[in-house]
Amino acid sequence: METRRIAVGDRAWTVRIGGDQFRHTVVLLPDDQAPVDVYDSVCARLQTSDLRTVAFESIDGLDAPAMYAVLDELGVPWANLVGCGAGADLGWQLAARGFGRFMGLVAAGRGHPAAAGADGTVADSGCPAVEIPTTVIATKQLPRAIAETAGRHVYGEFRVAQVDVADPATEAAQELATEIVLRSGQW
């Protein structure tokens, strides 16, 4: 995979890019403190499935305007979003407010910010609904019953998949890649 550092204003993010630039793009957002290569095995599987991958090494300080600038720099007009943990939190926010820029969302281990989480708290009651097809992956931190409540905040095709691990990116790469391919398919 190619590694590029892209500056936006006074900040910069490193992304790992792989696959044919003329294919559908999947943007992968890692959890806090995840290793920089956390998505390498997932990306290898996605590239085998004829998808282009853009994996952020860190999401520290990344917001919607910075994400759009990075995607513009890479020549990506629209993409599928994937996030695990804190990356899923950011993915929900981007998908809820970036209509037309993102065509699908896979959120692992986190439900919609306006739905109560596993601990009963609501992270962001003002977060709009997501209007794109969405898959939530239930994990050890996000029980299936809680993951299903995110469906009330998705105005598009919605499904829940389940893996009995804490971190799908490292412990269930094959299952995560399968869910991404299913969500990214144009059939």
Amino acid at 53: T
By three-state DSSP, how is residue 35 classified?
coil
Q: Which residue has the tokens 């910010």?
A: 113
Query: In CATH, which of 3.90.700.10, 3.40.109.10, 3.40.50.1820, 3.40.1170.10 is domain 2-184?
Result: 3.40.50.1820
The model's pLDDT over 144-164, given as tens digits with 9 standing for 90+, comes to 999 999 999 999 999 999 999
To the nearest whole number, what is the mean pLDDT of the chain?
94
The model's pLDDT over 77-115, given as tens digits with 9 standing for 90+, comes to 999 999 999 999 999 999 999 888 999 999 999 999 999
Instruction: Of 157, 156, 135, give the one whose Cα is nearest residue 147.
Output: 135
Show the tokens assigned to 175. 């299952």
Write down the pTM of the prediction. 0.94
Q: How far is CA 52 from the centre of its chain?
A: 14
Q: Which residue has the tokens 């490193």?
A: 14
* Domain residue ranges in the chain: 2-184
* Residues 7-26, mean pLDDT to the nearest whole number: 93
Q: What percent of the chain has pLDDT over 90?
A: 91
